[in-house]
Structure 1
Amino acid sequence: MVVLVMGGSRGIGLEAVRAALGQGHRVRAFARHASGIELTHDRLEKCPGDALAPKDVERALVGVDAVIQVLGISNRDLFGPVDLFSRATAVLLPLMIRHGVRRLAAVTGFGAGDSAAAVGPFQRLPFRMLFGRAYDDKTRQEELIIASGLDWTIWRPGVLMNGKASGRARILVAPSQWRNGIVSRADVAASMVSHLEDAALLHQKPVIIRF
């Protein structure tokens, strides 16, 4: 496959680039500072661009089979209005439809959408105080994706950590299973990539944790 990784310069996005290359895909890494990605590979294309600029996103989608969308904001942005997740998604989705790119794997987080009900009572207040604005916008992002008609999977990681992929991440699909936990960015990325061609998680919103 040709996989476009939106936000491929750091965090889960960079790990997704590594995982997709490791699983034999061609990868187009899209980010503002994509040219600074230190990876080199004959199947890697670095594509600088702005996720809010339709011309940049449309250029990146040409010839793509699947999209991995990983968006992030800085800690200082958590305390002001947050709309990056929904705005960037509103740019991406119609362009995917226009170019016939059906497969989308998007990262939001445990606590977005209907997984908010699974946040424990002792975690709920501090979670809302710190991340409420961001997760309200992640919920709007999820709603746009669900309404798009695309072949989507929404991945909701728990508390993210650095480190290598363990291969022991737990993918919790049923709402009755959803709970918080830690998980490495590499484990999230590897799971996302390995399920790109798997119909089992189409139109699912799994929570992913290690324990």
Structure 2
Amino acid sequence: MNLTVFGATGGIGRQIVRQALAAGHRVTAVVRDPARLGVTGTGLEVFRADLTDAEALRPAVSGRDAVLSGLGARSRKDAGVTARLTRTVLGAMEAEGVRRLVVVTAAPVGPAPAHDGLVDRAGRGLISAILKDVYADLREAEDELARSATDWTVVRPPRLQDKPLTGSYRTVVGGFPQRGRFIGRADVAHAMLAAVDDPSMVKHGVGVAY
């Protein structure tokens, strides 16, 4: 497949690029600073662009089979960036008639597992309160997706870890794995790539966790 990856210099985005190249896909990595990418390989195109300009992004998505986005706030002070940049990506995709989009948000944005215990519910509530502005930004980004003409999927991980790829994790379409507290960035990337070809995940949020 021909894929475009936004947020390619982030922890999840870089993993998407590496795994996609290893699987034999052609990848366009959209970045502000190519020096930060740190990935090379046959089939890789590095596209330098201002992510606030939908018109400038059109060549990066034109003719692609799917777009994957690891865009997100790096800290609480960046809250608002995800929805803003998601709108730009959607504008470029819709102008070029590209439909398949897989993005990452976070577990607290989606529904909580029905049978989680008190500790898990309390922890989820505390994190949501601390990162209120960040999660509001992610919810707004998800709302933008829901209003769009794209065939979107939102992958919602819990607390992220820097661990090697395992390919072994739980997924729940429209929900979240019970007592799912952690997942590695490499496995989130794996889940996002797997979602591209899964019609059961189109226009759904998908919870992922170990």
Q: Give me the TM-score of the superposition, normalised by structure 1.
A: 0.89
Structure 2 unaligned blocks of 5 or more? none
Aligned length: 206
Equivalent residue for 1:115, pick from 111, 114, 117: 111
Structure 2: distance between partners of 1:59 and 1:178 = 41
Structure 1 unaligned blocks of 5 or more? none
**1:206 partner SS:** strand
- 1:196 Cα deviation after fit: 1.0
Q: How does 1:66-105 map to 2 (within 5 A)?
A: 66-75=66-75, 78=76, 80=77, 82-105=79-102
- 1:81 Cα deviation after fit: 7.0
Structure 1: distance between partners of 2:64 and 2:18 = 17
CA contact (8 A) 1:70 1:106 kept: yes
Structure 2: distance between partners of 1:178 and 1:56 = 42
CA contact (8 A) 1:81 1:133 kept: no
RMSD: 2.1
CA shift in 2, pair 1:102/1:153, >3 Å:
same
1:25-48 Cα deviation digits (max 9, x unpaired): 100111211343222112001112
1:182-208 Cα deviation digits (max 9, x unpaired): 101111111211221221211121110
**What amino acid does structure 2 have at the position aligned with 1:193?**
L
Give the percent of matched residue pairs that are identical in Structure 1 and Structure 2. 30
CA contact (8 A) 1:115 1:178 kept: no
Partner of 1:127: 127
- 1:175 Cα deviation after fit: 2.8
Q: Give me the TM-score of the superposition, normalised by structure 2.
A: 0.89
Structure 2: distance between partners of 1:179 and 1:48 = 40
**What amino acid does structure 1 have at the position aligned with 2:95?**
R
1:56-83 Cα deviation digits (max 9, x unpaired): 32232223221001112233xx1x4721
CA contact (8 A) 1:159 1:180 kept: no
